[in-house]
């Protein structure tokens, strides 16, 4: 059974860096075929894709966040992490980590099959 669990500060001051970690169990972040991802949801709003990292180390980020964003992986701990710099109140949201899987034999069929429980991060002084 694959499980993901977010952890990190629930309160971050404006202009500082938001840092979250996702601990994965039941699967390896070093395994091919999966994209380890972050998604956020502003209060009362829809889902917003943040970015992902492939096991090879390659990343892809949302264009709107790219300049402030970094996603990395720690294979020794089976974790991946998110760092979002220069945060403002607009970054207040529930942050989810999730596994993005690709259907074998397709190039464009991707879906999130496992999600963490989400963690609320509030940006406030």
Partner 1 sequence: SYELTQPPSVSVSPGQTASISCSGEKLGHKYASWYQQKPGQSPVLVIYQDDKRPSGIPERFSGSNSGNTATLTISGTQAMDEADYYCQAWDSSTVVFGGGTKLTVL
Around Cβ 84, how many Cβ atoms within 10 Å?
24
Taking CB under 8 A as the binding criterion, the range among 12-20, 22-30, 77-85, 109-117 that sits at the site for partner 1 is 109-117
Question: Half-sphere exposure of 11 toward its Cβ, with a 13 Å CA cutoff?
Answer: 2
Cβ–Cβ under 8 Å, residues 36 and 97: yes
Q: Could you say which residues in the range 36-95 bind partner 1, by CB under 8 A? A: 37, 39, 46-49, 52, 60, 62-63
Taking CB under 8 A as the binding criterion, the range among 7-15, 16-24, 68-76, 106-114 that sits at the site for partner 1 is 106-114
C-beta of 67 vs 125, nearer to partner 1: 67
Residue with tokens 């970054």: 91
Helix (H, G, I), strand (E, B) or coil at 46: coil
C-beta of 63 vs 76, nearer to partner 1: 63
Q: Terminal CA-to-CA distance of the chain, rounded, Å?
A: 39
Q: Note the residues at the interface with partner 1 (CB under 8 A).
A: 37, 39, 46-49, 52, 60, 62-63, 96, 100, 103, 106, 108-113, 115-118
């Amino acid at each position: 059974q694959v499980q993901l669990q977010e952890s990190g500060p629930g309160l971050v001051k404006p202009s500082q860096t938001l840092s979250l970690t996702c601990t994965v169990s039941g699967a390896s972040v070093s395994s091919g075929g999966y994209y380890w991802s972050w998604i956020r949801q502003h209060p009362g709003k829809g889902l917003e894709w943040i970015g992902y990292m492939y096991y090879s180390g390659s990343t892809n980020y949302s264009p709107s966040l790219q300049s402030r964003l970094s996603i990395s992986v720690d294979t020794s701990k089976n974790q991946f992490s998110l760092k979002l710099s220069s945060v403002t109140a607009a970054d207040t949201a529930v942050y989810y980590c999730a596994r993005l899987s690709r259907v074998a034999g397709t190039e464009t069929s991707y879906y999130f099959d496992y999600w963490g429980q989400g963690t609320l991060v509030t940006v406030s002084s």
